[in-house]
Amino acid sequence: MRSLCIKISISTFTLLLPAVAGLLAQPTVPAPRTPVPLGLLRLQDATRPGQTTPLATNKFAVDALSVSGAIGASKGKKDDVDVLVLDPSKEWSRSLRGSPKDVTFVSFELYASHSTVIEIGGARLGIITSPIPGSFQLAFDDSASSTPHWRALNAHFGAEQFGGKLLAMLPALTVRIDPEAGVWDVFSDSRLLADNLPLIDARKNQREFLLRAGSDGAWLSGLVFSDENPLYEDGNRNGIDDRFERQARGATLAANASRAERGQLAVQWKEQQRVKPPPALHVKRPLPDGMVSPHQPTGR
């Protein structure tokens, strides 16, 4: 009887061997990757050789887009993306990082209707009428007071229906605020769109990101505050890629370089970016009504 039990055990073990081997041979399923906030180049967990060094996690903060009691604001998901929805003419705000004298960076993704306004520590952007039919355009306010005087940035975006609202899907915008110099810059994705714009004196002490929705509301699908440049290595925090500075002049500009010196270098960098487009930012975003993502089941 004892030998019979041994035979059965060995037979059972022999039968199990192929199944165990099959399980061990299964490919390892990689853990899902955490999406890079707004696709910002320096917020990736790791980079390949030649790419920018990731920003330390204590150097930036990703806002949760909570409603926080704001009137006319709600939060939901659009195409599996968290979105803060703001009703027409309503406001929502967040405090900036750092001290009033610190250079700071604010990046955001916005779906904006006509007359939407974004204020960031004395910088003011707005959505105005575009000469291109069916489009809005991005503008900045160069007034010295609280009364806007809009100047177009030559950046036009098609207006489409999102949740039944006529909105323009703006690229990820990054604003650099330099309170000491009294200027600011704005990036469209990773391209420097405009630089050395004057801060509004009457508003530069307002250390906040303020979104005021336009005629058909606004959607905010991402907001990141950074102590350092989230797009490029930028040790002097002048908004220009250090690698370009070294290529163009052999060394980076001094942190106290004049506004004219920085402006001249920024012009050269923008020209290079026109010749050789900068890296794209990859991020999942809500789509216009009726449009289905290529990775989303159609239900047919």
Q: What is the pLDDT of residues 227-257, one digit of tens each?
A: 999 999 999 999 999 999 999 999 999 988 9
Using alpha carbons, select from 49, 108, 86, 127 the residue that is nearest to residue 217.
86
Cα(285)–Cα(280) distance, integer angstroms: 14
What is 78-233's CATH number? Answer: 2.60.120
* pLDDT per position as a tens digit, 148-206: 899 999 999 999 999 999 999 999 999 999 999 999 999 999 999 999 999 998 888 89
Question: CA 99: distance to chain centroid?
Answer: 22
What pLDDT is attached to residue 204? 87
Instruction: Please report, for the chain, the start and end positions of each structural domain, with discontinuous segments joined by +.
Output: 78-233
Q: Please list the residues that pair with 218 across neighbouring strands.
A: 86, 112
Please report where in the chains the tokens 């320096």 appear, as a residue. Answer: 42
- Write the Ramachandran bin of 65: left for phi over 0, alpha for psi from -120 to 50, otherwise beta: left
275 by DSSP, 3-state: which?
helix
Q: Please list the residues that pair with 80 across neighbouring strands.
A: none
Q: Is the pLDDT of residue 132 over 90?
A: yes
Question: CA 116: distance to chain centroid?
Answer: 18
Q: What is the pTM of this model?
A: 0.85
60 close to 226: Cβ distance less than 8 angstroms? yes
* pLDDT per position as a tens digit, 26-60: 444 444 446 789 999 999 876 665 678 899 999 99
Question: CA 199: distance to chain centroid?
Answer: 21
Cα(48)–Cα(40) distance, integer angstroms: 15
208: its two tokens: 């906040």
Number of H helices and number of E strands within the chain? 3, 15
218 close to 211: Cβ distance less than 8 angstroms? yes
Using alpha carbons, select from 293, 273, 276, 275 the residue that is nearest to residue 284.
293
The secondary structure element, H or E, covering residue 174 is: strand 173-178
Q: Which residues contact 225 (CB under 8 A, 6 or more apart)?
A: 60, 61, 63, 94, 96, 97, 104, 105, 106, 209
The share of the chain scoring above pLDDT 70, in percent, equals: 83
| Strand ranges in the chain using DSSP code E only, listed in sequence order | 60-62, 73-78, 81-86, 91-95, 104-112, 117-120, 123-129, 135-141, 150-162, 165-169, 173-178, 183-188, 191-198, 208-212, 218-226
